Structure 1
């Protein structure tokens, strides 16, 4: 298979390594069942819960989680790997400070002085692919040579265990975790292609509300939570079934690989039915589509790097194999896919 970059004037960029962090001990579903109440939404396949998930502690910040996630990178690449980072991109599901992004504090905590620090708030469950695209663009267009991308999902513990929220059908589904990726301007584990698509017509179909007239920043009754109406859940399910295979197939077509020839297919992990439908669409067996949902729940944007890291640690990624990542965000307002010729340590 020919993986030559068609944009010959542009230098190759590699995803050379990934690492991850899951906070605390696994939380069993029994935590939620004692609070559950009759709810038609609980019967929807979108909200059938995993066996366990992880919850970050109240005072554990997004920066704490990134700091813990990068430790394996330091162990594998040496203590100087972070001090030489030129580009830092962070995505935090629930910002600890709604005014400030996490990027500068991550850089300070890790002893970094990157030339480019960007807090990316869009991209949702496809944020890792989105950030790979952004990092590759910056590395190709500047003198920068290295980038760290960090995706933190940290809203399961603080949001979905609230007294008014923990009894809802969707409460047991999310889990917390953080995944990071190290990108270098070289050809050691090249990014073969990336596809990013925005669908603004779907941007209003997911809501964050307090269940009342109160805005989330105002005092008063009502607890903030992500919500869908039942009719919108049905539409989101149909979109997700379509969008992820579409962007994945677009990448396969451009790199000249049939979908069934992909060695490892890593997606976001929203629920079991999505995972089954996506691998069926790409004609892949289950063993080539790793599944962390039952152990970690829906990790949103952190799912791809956490799952990829789990495969790497298990020794199931072969150097030279083709790894395809794909995901869709929110109610379908964004989808992305990226292929890498694996070569990480």
Structure 2
């Protein structure tokens, strides 16, 4: 699959930094458990900060490092934004305008959730192979921490205390510089109804009325959903490695979505990877949802964790487990 390569990663983290409150074991015994504590720090979008602006702020420095102008260098813009500022138009066109580029194709992909980065790589590969594009900008935006999770009642929940905001981008090209070796996806529509958007009052999210909008999981299947999440990432990683003919022991760096410390620990233990081979940013940035993989990859690159020639595997699962995906690349820093 050498027709696809990742040239660079970029990230943007909003200016507001939220620090975790000290935990009193007498008041919250579970919170004293290091695996259950909220992240040490996380970022939140500012009032009025738009998803397209986050994409521009992540992508422009990346293009500057590459020594190129986005104008004339993006044929396809792929976005996945958790909370689109405009549910009719999406965020891609506005992001292109801010970057000063005019891609022939703009696709705002709203499905595939926390596993969307490998999924967007698969779409990019299809477009490159078909000849529709040669230079692709991929952008993942998580922007609910400072908006949805800022609602008064919801702000006290565990989900709100672990969520962080940020944007991760990647520049994908039709060459073999840092080749993408394979992408593997698994879709299980039967699980899609296990997660839903609720308001408490029964109103639909766009209708006026009481009740804060929040994400809810099927209560009678909570244990099953957690077990599903523990299982899915190691399974798709194993299936991907088998597909491209490499062993799990050959993985130099695994980067996954970052839901919580327990999932991260279980995933690497199941795969037999030491913590230094499973790079995560949870304690610094919190749960970044779909942006977790590209933001963490950009962080790894900036901190010298992506060594030349490394086999890097990216993976995640979405929603209540109706979608999971993994991708592998051979990274070359030059």
Same fold (TM over 0.5): yes
| Deviates further, 223-232 or 211-220 | 223-232
1:107 aligns with 2:96: yes
Match of 2:16 in 1: 25
| Deviates further, 76-85 or 261-270 | 76-85
Match of 2:118 in 1: 129
Shift of 1:67: 0.7
Match of 1:255 in 2: 244
What secondary structure sits across from 1:26 in the alignment? strand
Following superposition of structure 1 onto structure 2, how do residues 68-217 of structure 1 map, counting pairs within 5 Å?
68-217=57-206
Partners of 2:61 and 2:222 lie apart in 1 by: 38
Shift of 1:42: 8.1
What secondary structure sits across from 2:16 in the alignment? coil
Match of 1:244 in 2: 233
Match of 2:42 in 1: 53
Q: RMSD of aligned C-alpha atoms? A: 2.3
TM-score by length of 1: 0.91
Shift of 1:44: 11
Match of 1:329 in 2: 318
Partners of 1:94 and 1:53 lie apart in 2 by: 18
Query: Mind listing any 5+ residue stretches in structure 1 that lack a counterpart?
Result: 6-10
What secondary structure sits across from 1:303 in the alignment? helix
What secondary structure sits across from 1:203 in the alignment? helix
TM-score by length of 2: 0.93
Shift of 1:82: 4.5
Contact kept, 8 Å, 1:42 with 1:170, in 2: the verdict is: no
Shift of 1:194: 0.4
Tell me the matched-pair count.
Answer: 332
Partners of 2:212 and 2:312 lie apart in 1 by: 40
Shift of 1:26: 1.9
Partners of 1:48 and 1:268 lie apart in 2 by: 18
Partners of 2:127 and 2:333 lie apart in 1 by: 21
Partners of 1:93 and 1:323 lie apart in 2 by: 25
Query: Mind listing any 5+ residue stretches in structure 2 that lack a counterpart?
Result: none
Shift of 1:183: 0.4
Partners of 2:51 and 2:33 lie apart in 1 by: 31
Contact kept, 8 Å, 2:181 with 2:327, in 1: the verdict is: yes
Match of 1:8 in 2: none
2:273 to 278, 281, 284: 284
Partners of 1:45 and 1:235 lie apart in 2 by: 24
CA deviation digits over 1:14-66, x for unaligned, max 9? 011111011013201239x8xxxx99x98999974212211101200000100
Partners of 2:260 and 2:290 lie apart in 1 by: 14
